Structure 1
Amino acid sequence: MTHVTFIHGIGNKPAADELHNIWLRSLAAGLDGINLGAEGITSSMVYWADVLYPEPDANVAAYESLEENTAKEIDADAHTRPPVPATIDEASFISGLAFKIGGTLAAAEAVEAMPTNRQLEGLPYERIPLPWPLKKAFMETFLRDVHHYLFNVEFSPRPGVKYKVQDEIRNRFVKAIAKGAAEGGKHIVVSHSMGTVIAYDCLKRVAKTKGVDAFMTIGSPLGLDEIQDKLRPEWTRADGYPSNKVKGDWVNVFDRLDPVAGFDPFFSNDFQFGGKARVEDVEVVNEGAWRHAIVKYLKASELRGGFRRLLKI
């Protein structure tokens, strides 16, 4: 029996079971939807939001909304304050990411402001720009979550609980992959946002991670130099494909106006296998001004086509 292991991205999330069901509903919606249960495919969610946030987001309806100015991947409160760099390396990492993510947000604003007769080819005109408080909260959330994982920060999300962030999340991912492998059939990892960094890190750099049959990254920041530098020495451009753990294909899905993926969305050149391109890059155009939402990606026909190829259904 085929099993799919999901892993979510940045920011606070609804409780684990609710989040898993949101992903399943979004993937199944519409005439071309993929209903995993109906196909006899089991699935699970690697949940790690509680490592960085004190309690689950209770506003499930808002998270699942498709309103174009909704950005429920972020939680604009004290828990998402940007990291304070302790070393020059950390300061360089944070400033580099902030510059590139800010550039992608500015590019999205430029498209939104264009008159319809001058719109970029393939990019629909957007009429509702993202307000500055939302952009600021997103930047702080992204920088904090990515930094704390890649630098393995010791962090306490609530009284009486403390984690080494990377160690804890790696352990959860490795256990989930082992459980999925125990199903005995085909095993596919589907990751979003920061979850793509976690999944890649474990599949490429953690020896005890079990192998999987295929890999999908969605709205991923893995194309950014700053993140790739933190994945060395195991990552190199000519041999970045995690071939020791991913037996089959890797499909990378992106929207050019997604602020997390848009600066460098193409992976075929950055994650080669023996010096040759092997990743399949798939572009989608999500609705609305906020392009990073997983519920939008999972409804895209191009993503579903790539997923069907991995599932072979």
Structure 2
Amino acid sequence: MSATIVFVHGRGQEGKDPVKLERNWLAGLAAGLARAGEPPIDGVRSVFPFYGDLLYRITAELARRGEEVDLESLPLHPDLPDDTTAVENEMLTEMVAATGRVDEERLSDLLSAKAVRRTLEILARRTRLDQEIIKAHLRDVAVYLTQARDPVLAAVKAAIPDTVPIVLVSHSLGTVVARDLLSDQRLRERTRLWVTAGSPLGLDSVQRNLLTKGTVNPGIPWLTCWDVNDVVALGHPLRPTWKEPLEEIEVENSDAPHSIERYLGHARVARVIGAAALRS
């Protein structure tokens, strides 16, 4: 029996058409299978749980309730709750440290008042992502972990078909959502493969706030892929902390290091997904 592929998207999808988004993911996967010399998986069902608008509404409401403060001072997004901005700042510190080019003792100075922009500049210079994209990523991961987890998980679970085996393919913030999904033993038991692409799961601040806290490997076949220029995936490789079972593939996504289409278009990544989906 072939599996159903469950695509779990990342941040920044609000206002977009989920049908078109799913089509793009499938096109990326099809391109990767073709590069690998593997047959297409036209007969395999896929679903695309969409929570982009939901996350956006929750974030906007949090901001609406916030009080104005000096925008030149910490926190990074001062209109969000304290627990959310605390996670943001922890992630930012760890992402700079992960570049390996900043003295650990200077990190607290980098996050002092009026210096956050300089910290973002460091990340932007050493990766290929714009500062505003980095800020938005930090915000949305922190909002999910502290304020939006329950409604987002409910929306995603509602779209996953019951009883059938699944291949869970996740990207960016979606990898955090997927790890929380896999805390459910019933879902975990019918997951043939979990794929994480461009994932922030290497950051301690993310790990501490997961539904199953820490680096607890879910114990199912797991493939993670990352580009060294993908700022979201700066915590890779994951195997030293997450242990086995875990297969890791470093890819080169050229001028779009965080692109899910590029990740899925990689021959080795697509081959593993195709084999798991088609297995009887």
TM-score bracket, normalised by the shorter chain, equals 0.7 to 0.9
Alignment correspondent of 2:24: 22
Greater fraction helix: 2
Alignment correspondent of 2:224: 252
**Could you tell me whether the CA contact under 8 Å between 2:85 and 2:142 is conserved in 1?**
no
The DSSP-based 3-state class of the residue aligned with 2:232 is coil
How many angstroms does 1:2 deviate by?
2.0
Matches within 5 A, 1:93-104: 93-102=87-96, 104=99
Partners of 1:95 and 1:265 in 2: CA distance? 19
Q: Deviations 1:136-171 (Å, cap 9, x if unpaired)?
A: 22122112211111002xxxxxxxxxxxx2111110
Cα distance change on mapping 1:36 and 1:148 into 2, 3 Å: farther
Cα distance change on mapping 1:207 and 1:280 into 2, 3 Å: closer
Return the structure number with greater relative CO, CA threshold 8 A, min gap 6.
Answer: 2
How many angstroms does 1:108 deviate by?
7.1
Q: Deviations 1:26-58 (Å, cap 9, x if unpaired)?
A: 2112632667542x211011111011336xxxx
**Superposed CA RMSD:** 2.7
**Could you tell me whether the CA contact under 8 Å between 2:153 and 2:181 is conserved in 1?**
yes
Asked whether 1:174 is paired with 2:174, we answer no
**Could you tell me whether the CA contact under 8 Å between 1:82 and 1:141 is conserved in 2?**
no
Specify the code of the residue in structure 2 equivalent to 1:215: W
The DSSP-based 3-state class of the residue aligned with 1:260 is helix
**Could you tell me whether the CA contact under 8 Å between 2:11 and 2:172 is conserved in 1?**
yes
Cα distance change on mapping 1:259 and 1:16 into 2, 3 Å: same
Alignment correspondent of 1:228: 207
How many angstroms does 1:93 deviate by?
1.9
Alignment correspondent of 1:242: 218
Alignment correspondent of 1:7: 8
5+ long unaligned stretches in structure 1? 55-80, 112-128, 153-164
Cα distance change on mapping 1:171 and 1:107 into 2, 3 Å: closer
Matches within 5 A, 1:21-40: 21-29=23-31, 31-32=34-35, 37-38=41-42, 40=43
**Could you tell me whether the CA contact under 8 Å between 2:51 and 2:156 is conserved in 1?**
no
Q: Among the aligned pairs, what percent are the same residue?
A: 27
Specify the code of the residue in structure 1 equivalent to 2:213: W
Alignment correspondent of 2:238: 267
Asked whether 1:47 is paired with 2:35, we answer no
Of the candidates 163, 167, 171, which is equivalent to residue 188 of structure 1?
167
Partners of 2:176 and 2:157 in 1: CA distance? 14
Partners of 1:256 and 1:11 in 2: CA distance? 21
Asked whether 1:304 is paired with 2:270, we answer yes
**Could you tell me whether the CA contact under 8 Å between 1:173 and 1:199 is conserved in 2?**
no
5+ long unaligned stretches in structure 2? 58-75, 100-120
Partners of 1:101 and 1:236 in 2: CA distance? 17
The DSSP-based 3-state class of the residue aligned with 2:242 is coil
